Structure 1
């Protein structure tokens, strides 16, 4: 039974995990840096990199201890080598390479996006092919996934990522950080029909997304609110924004589904992954769209939607059992698309 240690440090979570080939997560340690960045209303790359450096040794040690394994028990060491904030990526990748070198283990350089893409195979054993909606703070795209390393981009954002739009909306409305959960919480008590916000590209051909116009509309609506702005005003605007995003994603998903099924007529699954996949309202909206099309929606457990080491360890295992590993000169990349041809 092969075991892989996975290390993740591409943004503001320092994470490490040990995962077994039979899909057991033996440990999954995630250290959040929320308090380090809260005062700035967003992630500060230099602060994130320094925090990774300060804590990564302890996080890895805790992951190994919790899993009750030694380095001799590992079949390999996997680490995120991109895309992401390059300072943090370098910290995690260097630790992963060093451990692999010292303990004479294969090193697997993992694309952070592939970690999200393959999590559904760890949690639900989803077979290929499947349609993936990857939505996070930095990435929003539809991908046809035919196998490990076989990704075709069907559409994506032409400006802001969905998670970024949530974060900036929360900041404009003073809802706090992190923005995604703050907007979702505020929207629970809001009237989604109060503000007539735009749905950019709604009904247009293709599966591309645009969020910048919606974000601007939220700002203009907030500026027009009469003083003093009440908590209900903010909840209504948050709910209206979230509903607009749901409508956009559902519409774009219909177009992506048509493209996917034309390529893979037997496809049965739509997977939503990334930090925004933790949003329950958006999950429910997409569930309706997928069910109408006769397919099954798969979303990882909430704790595996956000960045974590288990997804990196599993992606490493998927690569390792295909006979793949990488040299210690594997580059760290701030940008690294899954579909290099897109």
Structure 2
């Protein structure tokens, strides 16, 4: 293996087109093109997402290579997100990566998006220290809520997951009920930081390490409808406190399940990953757990929480080291599981 391994990684699982260049474990560039078009529809429109990826992918890859100050001929391999995600979006990244790997005659690496969220912790500057195996990872995003036992880079076991909606959906649905624009999760967090958790929402009773958020979404909707009926200005007058109450309930649910998983596995190394791991309350709770229960917690930099190609690149680097190459017949898989 050459002293320096340069890998170009492409991430196109949903509505962000991203390309990154990694040299060993160090990210040289991580370019993300967001798709503004979806905000007017209140959610991601798959057909529009794949079209936007087609427009963005060439300039994004070009900028990533330029920022990394390397030529495409120096690349050791090309990586792409195989799944899970939106089929149309995944196909754009997969087709581009396969063509480029073929043209340059270098290995192709198909990457599991969910594994990549977890392995973002191994990027050189992702956080202060890298977790030792085994560790538990709470993977929380718009599409997923899971507790994963991470035994090794590519040996992962789902201990618990949502039986209905993901935690990110609960945030976005709350925002919609409150009349906040999409994506609403970060806005709920912003308002929550200024409010007090005055309102009570019951927590779902779900067995073992699994989650459920559909009941909470319904409870929030009924609560708001009832209060607005009595006082039409209820939302405007109590926005910050409503957000704080919802946020506290969600953080309680997540922390309760993590505590159970720690008790069951006796593993006290806890990481968070995925878009919702940027949430201030969840980060705060984990930092407190560090002090209260002596856990070792791993909280990634904000730029590595949402969908980005840097996390694809670090996963690809570890696959490359183990020569876990893919071939041209590899296809996108929108339902890929974290342990596949």
Q: TM-score range by the shorter chain?
A: over 0.9
- CA contact 2:94–2:331 (8 Å) conserved in 1: no
1:229 is matched with: 234
Structure 2 spans left out of the alignment, 5+ residues: none
Confirm or deny that 1:68 pairs with 2:69: yes
1:200 is matched with: 204
Matches within 5 A, 1:6-45: 6-21=9-24, 23-33=25-35, 35-45=36-46
Give secondary structure in 2 for the equivalent of 1:282: helix
- CA contact 2:42–2:181 (8 Å) conserved in 1: yes
Give secondary structure in 2 for the equivalent of 1:300: coil
Q: 2:306, 2:291 → 1: CA distance?
A: 25
1:246 is matched with: 251
Give secondary structure in 2 for the equivalent of 1:270: strand
Confirm or deny that 1:154 pairs with 2:172: no
Q: 2:46, 2:278 → 1: CA distance?
A: 23
Give secondary structure in 2 for the equivalent of 1:224: helix
- CA contact 1:6–1:79 (8 Å) conserved in 2: yes
Q: CA RMSD of the aligned region, Å?
A: 1.3
2:338 is matched with: 338
- CA contact 2:178–2:235 (8 Å) conserved in 1: no
Q: 1:155, 1:42 → 2: CA distance?
A: 27
Q: 2:133, 2:70 → 1: CA distance?
A: 31
1:58 is matched with: 59
Partner deviation per Cα, 1:275-309 (whole Å, 9 max, x = no partner): 00001111112332354332211111001100101
State the 1:189 CA deviation.
Answer: 2.2
- CA contact 1:82–1:111 (8 Å) conserved in 2: yes
Q: 1:232, 1:32 → 2: CA distance?
A: 33
TM-score (norm 1): 0.93
1:320 is matched with: 320
State the 1:171 CA deviation.
Answer: 1.0
TM-score (norm 2): 0.94
Structure 1 spans left out of the alignment, 5+ residues: 262-266
1:4 is matched with: 7
Matches within 5 A, 1:1-342: 1-21=4-24, 23-33=25-35, 35-122=36-123, 123=126, 124-193=129-198, 195-201=199-205, 206-225=208-227, 226-261=231-266, 267-340=267-340
Q: 2:5, 2:26 → 1: CA distance?
A: 11
